[in-house]
Structure 1
Amino acid sequence: MKIRKALSQDAPFLAQMILQSSRADKQISIFDVIFESKSDEETLANIEKLTTTTAKNYCHYSNFLIAEIDGECVGSLCSYEPRIATKETFLESLKEISCDANAEDFLEILDSCDFELNKRTLVFDFMEEIEGHMNVGILKALMQKSLLSARLKGYRIAQAMVEIGSLETLLYYKKLGFKEVKHKKCELYKEKFGRAGLILLAFEF
Protein backbone atom coordinates (compact mmCIF):
# COMPACT_ATOMS: atom_id res chain seq x y z
CA MET A 1 0.00 0.00 0.00
CA LYS A 2 1.18 3.50 -0.83
CA ILE A 3 -0.11 6.67 0.89
CA ARG A 4 0.37 9.88 -1.06
CA LYS A 5 -0.87 13.45 -1.23
CA ALA A 6 -3.75 14.00 -3.61
CA LEU A 7 -3.17 15.89 -6.86
CA SER A 8 -5.60 18.01 -8.88
CA GLN A 9 -5.97 15.16 -11.38
CA ASP A 10 -7.39 13.00 -8.56
CA ALA A 11 -10.53 15.17 -8.57
CA PRO A 12 -12.84 12.44 -10.06
CA PHE A 13 -11.80 9.91 -7.39
CA LEU A 14 -12.07 12.49 -4.60
CA ALA A 15 -15.55 13.50 -5.78
CA GLN A 16 -16.62 9.86 -5.60
CA MET A 17 -15.25 9.51 -2.03
CA ILE A 18 -16.78 12.83 -0.88
CA LEU A 19 -20.22 11.87 -2.17
CA GLN A 20 -19.99 8.33 -0.75
CA SER A 21 -18.94 9.69 2.64
CA SER A 22 -21.49 12.51 2.81
CA ARG A 23 -24.40 10.28 1.84
CA ALA A 24 -23.44 7.56 4.35
CA ASP A 25 -26.39 5.30 3.45
CA LYS A 26 -28.82 8.23 3.17
CA GLN A 27 -30.74 9.14 0.01
CA ILE A 28 -29.27 12.64 -0.15
CA SER A 29 -26.32 14.54 1.27
CA ILE A 30 -25.47 18.19 1.86
CA PHE A 31 -24.01 18.28 -1.68
CA ASP A 32 -27.33 17.18 -3.20
CA VAL A 33 -28.92 20.13 -1.34
CA ILE A 34 -26.25 22.61 -2.47
CA PHE A 35 -26.18 21.59 -6.13
CA GLU A 36 -29.81 20.50 -6.64
CA SER A 37 -28.47 18.14 -9.30
CA LYS A 38 -30.70 16.06 -11.54
CA SER A 39 -28.32 13.07 -11.40
CA ASP A 40 -25.35 11.63 -9.52
CA GLU A 41 -23.16 12.41 -12.55
CA GLU A 42 -24.04 16.09 -12.25
CA THR A 43 -23.42 16.11 -8.48
CA LEU A 44 -20.04 14.41 -8.96
CA ALA A 45 -19.06 16.88 -11.69
CA ASN A 46 -19.80 19.80 -9.36
CA ILE A 47 -17.91 18.24 -6.44
CA GLU A 48 -14.96 17.70 -8.81
CA LYS A 49 -14.93 21.43 -9.56
CA LEU A 50 -15.12 22.16 -5.83
CA THR A 51 -11.93 20.16 -5.17
CA THR A 52 -9.90 22.35 -7.54
CA THR A 53 -11.10 25.92 -6.86
CA THR A 54 -8.64 28.73 -6.15
CA ALA A 55 -10.26 29.23 -2.73
CA LYS A 56 -9.00 26.36 -0.56
CA ASN A 57 -12.27 25.08 0.88
CA TYR A 58 -12.38 21.98 3.06
CA CYS A 59 -13.02 19.74 0.00
CA HIS A 60 -9.91 21.04 -1.78
CA TYR A 61 -7.63 18.31 -3.14
CA SER A 62 -4.65 19.72 -1.20
CA ASN A 63 -6.32 18.60 2.07
CA PHE A 64 -6.46 14.94 0.99
CA LEU A 65 -4.31 11.87 1.31
CA ILE A 66 -4.99 8.93 -1.00
CA ALA A 67 -4.24 5.25 -0.42
CA GLU A 68 -3.20 3.18 -3.43
CA ILE A 69 -2.86 -0.58 -3.83
CA ASP A 70 -1.17 -1.82 -7.04
CA GLY A 71 -1.61 1.66 -8.54
CA GLU A 72 -5.37 1.75 -7.86
CA CYS A 73 -6.85 4.46 -5.61
CA VAL A 74 -8.64 2.62 -2.78
CA GLY A 75 -9.13 5.13 0.03
CA SER A 76 -9.14 8.79 1.03
CA LEU A 77 -8.77 10.97 4.09
CA CYS A 78 -9.30 14.72 4.25
CA SER A 79 -7.69 16.68 7.08
CA TYR A 80 -8.15 20.43 7.22
CA GLU A 81 -7.55 23.35 9.53
CA PRO A 82 -10.88 25.01 10.45
CA ARG A 83 -9.14 28.39 10.86
CA ILE A 84 -8.20 28.21 7.15
CA ALA A 85 -11.04 26.22 5.56
CA THR A 86 -13.83 28.40 6.94
CA LYS A 87 -17.51 28.67 5.94
CA GLU A 88 -16.59 31.86 4.08
CA THR A 89 -13.93 30.01 2.05
CA PHE A 90 -16.50 27.37 1.11
CA LEU A 91 -18.94 30.05 -0.05
CA GLU A 92 -16.16 31.68 -2.10
CA SER A 93 -15.58 28.32 -3.80
CA LEU A 94 -19.28 27.91 -4.58
CA LYS A 95 -19.32 31.40 -6.14
CA GLU A 96 -16.20 30.56 -8.14
CA ILE A 97 -17.95 27.60 -9.80
CA SER A 98 -21.28 29.51 -10.11
CA CYS A 99 -23.08 27.13 -7.73
CA ASP A 100 -23.93 29.49 -4.86
CA ALA A 101 -27.71 29.71 -5.47
CA ASN A 102 -28.41 27.46 -2.45
CA ALA A 103 -25.66 28.85 -0.23
CA GLU A 104 -28.19 30.17 2.30
CA ASP A 105 -29.68 26.67 2.74
CA PHE A 106 -26.19 25.31 3.33
CA LEU A 107 -25.41 27.97 5.95
CA GLU A 108 -28.73 27.45 7.72
CA ILE A 109 -28.09 23.70 8.07
CA LEU A 110 -24.49 24.30 9.14
CA ASP A 111 -25.39 26.95 11.73
CA SER A 112 -28.15 24.80 13.24
CA CYS A 113 -25.68 21.95 13.90
CA ASP A 114 -22.55 23.97 14.63
CA PHE A 115 -20.17 22.70 17.35
CA GLU A 116 -18.04 25.89 17.29
CA LEU A 117 -14.85 23.92 16.71
CA ASN A 118 -11.66 24.87 18.47
CA LYS A 119 -9.56 26.53 15.76
CA ARG A 120 -6.41 24.86 17.09
CA THR A 121 -7.59 21.38 16.19
CA LEU A 122 -7.31 19.47 12.96
CA VAL A 123 -10.55 18.14 11.47
CA PHE A 124 -10.81 14.76 9.75
CA ASP A 125 -13.46 14.15 7.09
CA PHE A 126 -14.25 11.96 4.07
CA MET A 127 -12.40 8.95 5.50
CA GLU A 128 -13.52 6.37 2.95
CA GLU A 129 -12.56 3.15 1.21
CA ILE A 130 -13.88 1.81 -2.07
CA GLU A 131 -15.99 -1.33 -1.93
CA GLY A 132 -13.99 -4.53 -2.06
CA HIS A 133 -11.11 -3.06 -0.06
CA MET A 134 -12.69 -2.83 3.39
CA ASN A 135 -10.73 -3.76 6.51
CA VAL A 136 -7.24 -4.05 5.06
CA GLY A 137 -5.78 -1.33 7.27
CA ILE A 138 -6.33 1.42 4.70
CA LEU A 139 -7.98 3.89 7.09
CA LYS A 140 -5.41 3.27 9.81
CA ALA A 141 -2.54 3.87 7.38
CA LEU A 142 -4.16 7.09 6.10
CA MET A 143 -4.74 8.34 9.63
CA GLN A 144 -1.19 7.56 10.82
CA LYS A 145 0.30 9.46 7.88
CA SER A 146 -2.06 12.41 8.48
CA LEU A 147 -1.24 12.55 12.20
CA LEU A 148 2.47 12.57 11.40
CA SER A 149 2.00 15.73 9.30
CA ALA A 150 -0.32 17.23 11.94
CA ARG A 151 2.32 16.82 14.68
CA LEU A 152 4.84 18.69 12.56
CA LYS A 153 2.34 21.57 12.31
CA GLY A 154 1.95 21.61 16.11
CA TYR A 155 -1.46 19.96 16.36
CA ARG A 156 -2.24 17.60 19.22
CA ILE A 157 -5.99 17.03 18.81
CA ALA A 158 -7.90 15.76 15.78
CA GLN A 159 -11.69 16.03 15.61
CA ALA A 160 -14.34 14.53 13.38
CA MET A 161 -18.11 14.79 13.03
CA VAL A 162 -20.32 11.78 12.41
CA GLU A 163 -24.08 11.69 11.97
CA ILE A 164 -26.16 10.26 14.80
CA GLY A 165 -27.27 6.87 13.47
CA SER A 166 -24.30 6.41 11.12
CA LEU A 167 -23.17 3.37 13.11
CA GLU A 168 -20.60 1.95 10.69
CA THR A 169 -18.73 5.26 10.37
CA LEU A 170 -18.85 5.80 14.13
CA LEU A 171 -17.44 2.31 14.69
CA TYR A 172 -14.57 3.01 12.26
CA TYR A 173 -13.56 6.18 14.11
CA LYS A 174 -13.81 4.47 17.51
CA LYS A 175 -11.61 1.60 16.28
CA LEU A 176 -9.03 4.24 15.35
CA GLY A 177 -9.10 5.66 18.89
CA PHE A 178 -11.60 8.53 18.63
CA LYS A 179 -13.87 9.22 21.60
CA GLU A 180 -17.30 10.87 21.67
CA VAL A 181 -17.18 14.43 23.02
CA LYS A 182 -20.60 15.96 22.29
CA HIS A 183 -23.94 15.16 20.67
CA LYS A 184 -26.01 17.80 18.95
CA LYS A 185 -29.60 17.05 17.95
CA CYS A 186 -31.00 19.25 15.25
CA GLU A 187 -34.54 19.37 13.86
CA LEU A 188 -33.53 20.94 10.55
CA TYR A 189 -30.91 18.26 9.95
CA LYS A 190 -33.46 15.55 10.71
CA GLU A 191 -35.97 17.17 8.37
CA LYS A 192 -33.45 17.37 5.50
CA PHE A 193 -31.55 14.10 5.91
CA GLY A 194 -33.51 11.87 8.27
CA ARG A 195 -30.69 11.83 10.84
CA ALA A 196 -31.17 13.31 14.30
CA GLY A 197 -27.98 15.40 14.27
CA LEU A 198 -24.23 15.06 14.73
CA ILE A 199 -21.69 13.56 17.12
CA LEU A 200 -18.36 15.32 17.72
CA LEU A 201 -15.41 12.95 18.17
CA ALA A 202 -11.87 13.74 19.30
CA PHE A 203 -8.51 12.00 19.27
CA GLU A 204 -5.47 13.22 21.23
CA PHE A 205 -2.06 12.31 19.86
Structure 2
Amino acid sequence: MAISVKQATEQDTKFLAQMILKSSRAGKKVGLFDFLFEMGSDAEVLEKIEKLTTTTSKSHCHYKNFLIAQIDGKNVGTLCSYEPRISNQETFIKALEEIGCCEDANDILAPFYECSFNIRNSTLMFDFMEELDDFVDVGVLKALMQKSLLNARLRGYRRAQTIIEIGSLETEMFYKKLGFRLVEQKECEEYRETFGRNGIMLFEIEF
Protein backbone atom coordinates (compact mmCIF):
# COMPACT_ATOMS: atom_id res chain seq x y z
CA MET A 1 0.00 0.00 0.00
CA ALA A 2 1.88 3.04 -1.31
CA ILE A 3 1.59 6.22 0.74
CA SER A 4 2.30 9.59 -0.86
CA VAL A 5 2.56 12.92 0.97
CA LYS A 6 1.63 16.26 -0.55
CA GLN A 7 1.27 19.88 0.48
CA ALA A 8 -2.35 20.75 1.30
CA THR A 9 -4.18 23.10 -1.04
CA GLU A 10 -7.35 25.14 -0.74
CA GLN A 11 -9.24 22.24 -2.33
CA ASP A 12 -8.43 20.12 0.74
CA THR A 13 -10.10 22.33 3.33
CA LYS A 14 -13.09 20.06 4.00
CA PHE A 15 -10.81 17.14 4.78
CA LEU A 16 -8.55 19.34 6.92
CA ALA A 17 -11.57 20.49 8.94
CA GLN A 18 -12.54 16.88 9.63
CA MET A 19 -9.03 16.00 10.82
CA ILE A 20 -8.67 19.17 12.91
CA LEU A 21 -11.94 18.45 14.70
CA LYS A 22 -11.07 14.80 15.29
CA SER A 23 -7.63 15.68 16.60
CA SER A 24 -8.92 18.44 18.88
CA ARG A 25 -11.38 16.06 20.52
CA ALA A 26 -8.59 13.52 21.13
CA GLY A 27 -11.00 10.74 22.02
CA LYS A 28 -13.34 13.01 24.01
CA LYS A 29 -16.89 13.93 23.03
CA VAL A 30 -16.01 17.62 22.80
CA GLY A 31 -12.85 19.62 22.18
CA LEU A 32 -11.67 23.21 21.87
CA PHE A 33 -13.58 23.95 18.67
CA ASP A 34 -16.85 22.67 20.12
CA PHE A 35 -16.50 25.24 22.91
CA LEU A 36 -15.44 28.01 20.53
CA PHE A 37 -18.36 27.38 18.21
CA GLU A 38 -20.99 27.08 20.97
CA MET A 39 -21.52 23.34 20.88
CA GLY A 40 -23.07 23.43 17.43
CA SER A 41 -23.75 20.33 15.38
CA ASP A 42 -20.75 18.60 13.80
CA ALA A 43 -21.75 20.10 10.45
CA GLU A 44 -21.80 23.63 11.90
CA VAL A 45 -18.48 23.21 13.71
CA LEU A 46 -16.85 21.73 10.61
CA GLU A 47 -18.09 24.60 8.45
CA LYS A 48 -16.47 27.15 10.77
CA ILE A 49 -13.21 25.21 11.06
CA GLU A 50 -13.08 25.03 7.27
CA LYS A 51 -13.35 28.82 7.12
CA LEU A 52 -10.48 29.05 9.62
CA THR A 53 -8.22 27.15 7.22
CA THR A 54 -8.38 29.93 4.62
CA THR A 55 -8.26 33.17 6.65
CA THR A 56 -5.86 35.98 5.79
CA SER A 57 -4.47 35.72 9.30
CA LYS A 58 -2.26 32.62 9.12
CA SER A 59 -3.17 30.78 12.31
CA HIS A 60 -1.97 27.26 13.01
CA CYS A 61 -5.20 26.03 11.34
CA HIS A 62 -4.29 27.55 7.96
CA TYR A 63 -4.18 25.03 5.13
CA LYS A 64 -0.69 26.09 4.07
CA ASN A 65 0.66 24.65 7.33
CA PHE A 66 -0.55 21.13 6.47
CA LEU A 67 0.77 18.06 4.75
CA ILE A 68 -1.70 15.42 3.61
CA ALA A 69 -1.06 11.70 3.20
CA GLN A 70 -2.79 9.91 0.35
CA ILE A 71 -3.30 6.28 -0.61
CA ASP A 72 -4.53 5.60 -4.15
CA GLY A 73 -5.40 9.29 -4.47
CA LYS A 74 -7.56 9.29 -1.31
CA ASN A 75 -6.77 11.69 1.56
CA VAL A 76 -6.10 9.57 4.63
CA GLY A 77 -4.13 11.68 7.13
CA THR A 78 -2.79 15.10 8.08
CA LEU A 79 0.05 16.73 9.97
CA CYS A 80 0.35 20.45 10.66
CA SER A 81 3.69 22.17 11.22
CA TYR A 82 3.85 25.85 12.06
CA GLU A 83 6.21 28.54 13.27
CA PRO A 84 5.16 29.96 16.66
CA ARG A 85 6.52 33.40 15.73
CA ILE A 86 3.86 33.55 12.98
CA SER A 87 1.02 31.30 14.13
CA ASN A 88 0.33 32.19 17.75
CA GLN A 89 -2.44 33.29 20.09
CA GLU A 90 -2.73 36.70 18.42
CA THR A 91 -3.08 35.31 14.89
CA PHE A 92 -5.58 32.69 16.08
CA ILE A 93 -7.79 35.38 17.66
CA LYS A 94 -7.54 37.46 14.48
CA ALA A 95 -8.53 34.45 12.38
CA LEU A 96 -11.57 33.83 14.59
CA GLU A 97 -12.57 37.48 14.26
CA GLU A 98 -12.11 37.26 10.49
CA ILE A 99 -14.73 34.52 10.19
CA GLY A 100 -17.08 36.52 12.38
CA CYS A 101 -17.18 34.35 15.42
CA CYS A 102 -16.54 34.10 19.07
CA GLU A 103 -17.05 37.49 20.66
CA ASP A 104 -16.01 35.82 23.91
CA ALA A 105 -13.11 33.90 22.32
CA ASN A 106 -10.61 35.25 24.84
CA ASP A 107 -12.71 33.94 27.73
CA ILE A 108 -13.17 30.52 26.10
CA LEU A 109 -9.47 30.29 25.27
CA ALA A 110 -8.30 31.43 28.71
CA PRO A 111 -8.02 27.90 30.22
CA PHE A 112 -6.31 26.74 27.01
CA TYR A 113 -3.64 29.44 27.00
CA GLU A 114 -3.21 29.69 30.76
CA CYS A 115 -2.26 26.01 30.74
CA SER A 116 0.56 26.42 28.22
CA PHE A 117 4.32 26.41 27.83
CA ASN A 118 6.86 29.03 26.84
CA ILE A 119 7.64 28.02 23.27
CA ARG A 120 10.85 29.31 21.66
CA ASN A 121 10.51 30.87 18.21
CA SER A 122 13.44 28.74 17.05
CA THR A 123 11.29 25.63 17.48
CA LEU A 124 8.90 24.22 14.88
CA MET A 125 5.57 23.06 16.29
CA PHE A 126 3.58 20.02 15.17
CA ASP A 127 -0.18 19.65 15.60
CA PHE A 128 -3.25 17.88 14.19
CA MET A 129 -1.45 14.60 13.48
CA GLU A 130 -4.44 12.48 12.51
CA GLU A 131 -5.48 9.63 10.23
CA LEU A 132 -8.73 8.06 9.10
CA ASP A 133 -9.85 5.13 11.26
CA ASP A 134 -9.72 2.72 8.31
CA PHE A 135 -6.01 3.45 7.77
CA VAL A 136 -4.56 3.01 11.26
CA ASP A 137 -1.26 1.13 11.51
CA VAL A 138 -0.42 1.19 7.80
CA GLY A 139 2.31 3.85 8.14
CA VAL A 140 0.33 7.00 7.38
CA LEU A 141 1.48 9.04 10.37
CA LYS A 142 5.07 7.86 10.08
CA ALA A 143 5.18 8.97 6.42
CA LEU A 144 3.76 12.38 7.34
CA MET A 145 6.29 12.85 10.14
CA GLN A 146 9.25 11.81 8.00
CA LYS A 147 8.28 14.31 5.31
CA SER A 148 7.65 17.06 7.89
CA LEU A 149 11.04 16.53 9.54
CA LEU A 150 12.76 16.60 6.14
CA ASN A 151 11.02 19.89 5.31
CA ALA A 152 11.97 21.26 8.73
CA ARG A 153 15.66 20.46 8.15
CA LEU A 154 15.56 22.19 4.78
CA ARG A 155 14.15 25.29 6.52
CA GLY A 156 16.98 25.27 9.04
CA TYR A 157 15.16 23.81 12.05
CA ARG A 158 16.87 21.29 14.30
CA ARG A 159 14.22 20.91 16.98
CA ALA A 160 10.47 20.30 16.85
CA GLN A 161 7.89 20.15 19.61
CA THR A 162 4.28 19.12 20.04
CA ILE A 163 1.72 19.54 22.83
CA ILE A 164 -0.72 16.79 23.69
CA GLU A 165 -3.25 16.35 26.45
CA ILE A 166 -2.48 14.25 29.50
CA GLY A 167 -4.43 11.03 28.99
CA SER A 168 -4.10 10.92 25.19
CA LEU A 169 -2.31 7.60 25.51
CA GLU A 170 -2.31 6.50 21.87
CA THR A 171 -0.97 9.85 20.68
CA GLU A 172 1.66 9.89 23.43
CA MET A 173 2.80 6.37 22.55
CA PHE A 174 3.06 7.19 18.86
CA TYR A 175 5.16 10.32 19.41
CA LYS A 176 7.49 8.33 21.64
CA LYS A 177 7.86 5.70 18.90
CA LEU A 178 8.90 8.47 16.52
CA GLY A 179 11.67 9.55 18.91
CA PHE A 180 9.98 12.39 20.79
CA ARG A 181 10.70 12.71 24.51
CA LEU A 182 8.67 14.31 27.28
CA VAL A 183 10.27 17.58 28.41
CA GLU A 184 7.55 19.18 30.52
CA GLN A 185 4.10 18.46 31.94
CA LYS A 186 1.57 20.88 33.36
CA GLU A 187 -1.62 20.09 35.29
CA CYS A 188 -4.26 22.81 35.48
CA GLU A 189 -7.53 22.72 37.39
CA GLU A 190 -9.39 25.08 35.03
CA TYR A 191 -8.22 23.08 32.02
CA ARG A 192 -9.54 19.91 33.66
CA GLU A 193 -12.89 21.53 34.39
CA THR A 194 -13.24 22.84 30.83
CA PHE A 195 -11.74 20.09 28.66
CA GLY A 196 -11.95 17.03 30.91
CA ARG A 197 -8.21 16.32 30.92
CA ASN A 198 -5.73 17.03 33.72
CA GLY A 199 -3.53 19.23 31.57
CA ILE A 200 -0.95 19.04 28.83
CA MET A 201 2.47 17.58 28.00
CA LEU A 202 5.26 19.03 25.87
CA PHE A 203 7.22 16.58 23.71
CA GLU A 204 10.36 17.37 21.75
CA ILE A 205 12.59 15.82 19.10
CA GLU A 206 16.00 16.95 17.89
CA PHE A 207 17.10 16.02 14.38
Short-chain TM bin: over 0.9
Q: Distance in 1 between matches of 2:111 and 2:201?
A: 15
- Residue identity in the other structure for 2:167: G
Q: Distance in 1 between matches of 2:145 and 2:56?
A: 26
- Of 124, 127, 151 in structure 1, the residue corresponding to residue 126 of structure 2 is 124
Q: How far does the alpha carbon of each residue in 1:63-119 deviate from its partner, in whole angstroms, 9 at most, with x for none?
A: 000000001000000000001101111111111100132311243123321101111
Q: Distance in 1 between matches of 2:204 and 2:123?
A: 9
| Equivalent residue number for residue 55 of structure 1 | 57
| Equivalent residue number for residue 162 of structure 2 | 160
Q: How far does the alpha carbon of each residue in 1:10-38 deviate from its partner, in whole angstroms, 9 at most, with x for none?
A: 01100000000010111211111111142
* Residues 53-202 of structure 1 aligned to structure 2 (within 5 Å): 53-202=55-204
Identity of aligned residues (%): 58
Matched residue SS, 2:15: helix
- Of 8, 14, 17 in structure 2, the residue corresponding to residue 15 of structure 1 is 17
Q: Distance in 2 between matches of 1:28 and 1:83?
A: 28
How many residue pairs match? The answer is: 205
Change in CA separation of 1:106 and 1:156 when aligned onto 2, cut-off 3 Å: farther
Work out whether residues 35 and 102 of structure 1, in 8 Å CA contact, stay in contact via their aligned partners in 2: no
Work out whether residues 122 and 158 of structure 1, in 8 Å CA contact, stay in contact via their aligned partners in 2: yes
In the superposition, the TM-score normalised over structure 1's length comes to 0.97
Q: Distance in 2 between matches of 1:124 and 1:112?
A: 20
Q: Which runs of 4+ in 1 moved over 6 A?
A: none
- Residue identity in the other structure for 1:151: R
Work out whether residues 116 and 200 of structure 2, in 8 Å CA contact, stay in contact via their aligned partners in 1: no
Q: Which runs of 5+ in 1 are unaligned?
A: none
In the superposition, the TM-score normalised over structure 2's length comes to 0.97
Q: Distance in 2 between matches of 1:70 and 1:199?
A: 35
Matched residue SS, 1:100: coil
Work out whether residues 18 and 126 of structure 1, in 8 Å CA contact, stay in contact via their aligned partners in 2: yes
